[in-house]
Amino acid sequence: MNHPLTPVLLVIALGVAGGALGAQVPGPARAPDIPVSHRDRVYASEQFSNTVSVIDPADNTLLGVIRLGDPQPGNFSPLYKGQVLVHGMGFSPDHRTLAVVSIGSNSVTFIDTATNAVKHTAYVGRSPHEAFFTQDGTEVWVTVRGENYVAVLDSRTYREKTRIITQPGPGMTIFSPGGRYGFVCSSFNPELAVVDVKAHVIVARVPQPSPFCPDLAASPQGDQLWYTLKDVGKVVVISARPPFATLKVIDSGPITNHVNLVDNAHGRFAYVTVGGRNAVQ
């Protein structure tokens, strides 16, 4: 089914980009800088309207939305078949496919970025949170936060091929730039799991200072992993290489939520959203 872009009047979530991008998460440090142009797109999911906003980052213009479901109360009907609580997103290495997680309908929707058409909807376990493609593009790892596993989907058939059992409540997965490790933080338990991507086996368990990690990012250099702790307002930095030692715990502020890493001419930077202050640090 083709989902044309529909103009909207109110923008809830915005993606902003500017300048030249390169060597950014989740790519390696050797990736070249590529100037932002009108051919590029930023996608922002919105869990109350159940849409994905499409933005031109060259001038920060909202082009429209891809509607995956209806807002409340339309999605309360027992006959409703759309998506509910459209939330996490991940893109394929070739940038041709967007994987969109809907928490309330337990699904991952695969969207063709050239046409905005839904290619497939895969259903997983209770309350998935985020989905990311492996660096070789062959698998999609979905953290099923309402249960105790990461669902590994075949990116070609969209079928679940295996499960990686974790502590209950896996929050998010991110991969090292080289693709060797997958890092899975927990939203329910104070433990971060390090997974061998090829073997689908946990090779290390790293203590988290608190149970609620919603987000994490790996540095393009492959030397650091940053993750947030929403319940205690902290950011933790660990080594992304064995033995995965904790390097720093930073007091960032109440309701610390997302983190991402940027390299530019001025150095290496981490940007952290702090919900309790309505600020980005």
Q: CA-CA distance, 278 to 12, in Å (whole number)?
A: 15
- Token readout for 57 is 């980052």
Note whether 31 and 21 are within 8 A (CB): no
Question: Around 181, how many Cα atoms within 13 Å sit in the side-chain half-sphere?
Answer: 24
**What is the model's pLDDT at position 229?**
98
Tell me whether residue 183 is exposed, middle or buried, using C-beta atoms within 10 angstroms of its C-beta: 0 to 12, 13 to 18, 19 or more.
buried
Flag whether 173 is in a domain: yes
What pLDDT, on the 0 to 100 scale, is given for residue 10? 25
Strand-pairing partners, residue 217, are 226
Token pair listed for 279:
């600020």
pLDDT tens profile 236-278: 999 999 999 999 999 999 999 999 998 888 999 999 999 999 9
Q: Is the peptide bond before 207 cis (omega within 30 degrees of 0)?
A: no
Cα–Cα distance between 89 and 110 in angstroms, integer?
10
* pLDDT for 225: 97
Distance, in Å, from the CA atom of 156 to the CA atom of 49, rounded to the nearest integer, reads: 29
- Measure CA of the first residue to CA of the last residue in the chain; give whole Å: 40
Distance CA 121, CA 101 (A): 10
The radius of gyration computed from the CA coordinates of the chain, to the nearest angstrom, equals 18
Give a yes or no: residue 47 inside a domain: no
139 lies in which domain range? 87-280
Asked if the structure places residue 45 within a domain, the reply is: no
Residue 11 has pLDDT above 70, yes or no: no
Pairing of strands 86-91, 97-102: antiparallel
Q: Is residue 228 part of a domain?
A: yes
Cα 75 to chain centroid, rounded: 24
How far, in Å, CA of 121 to CA of 109, rounded? 4
Q: What is the pLDDT of residue 1?
A: 39
Q: Which residues pair with 85 in a beta bridge?
A: none
* Assigned domain for 31 exists: no
* pLDDT number for residue 132: 96
Task: Give the closest residue to 45 by CA, choosing from 14, 76, 78.
Answer: 14
Is the predicted pLDDT of residue 12 greater than 80, yes or no? no
- The answer to whether residue 61 is domain-embedded is no
- On the CB side of 3, CA atoms within 13 Å amount to 21
Domain count, the chain: 1
In a domain, 220, yes or no: yes
Domain holding 229: CATH number?
2.130.10.10
If 0-12 CB within 10 Å is exposed, 13-18 middle and 19+ buried, where does residue 17 land?
middle
Percentage of the chain surpassing pLDDT 90?
81
The model's pLDDT over 203-246, given as tens digits with 9 standing for 90+, comes to: 999 999 999 999 999 999 999 999 999 999 999 999 999 999 99
Residue 40 lies in a domain: no
Q: Are 3 and 66 in contact (CB under 8 A)?
A: yes
pLDDT at 8 over 50: no
Is 277 in a helix, a strand, or coil?
Answer: helix
Q: Which two tokens stand for residue 246?
A: 């904790």
| Burial class for 77, CB neighbours closer than 10 Å (0-12, 13-18, 19+) | exposed
Looking at residue 29, what is its pLDDT? 72
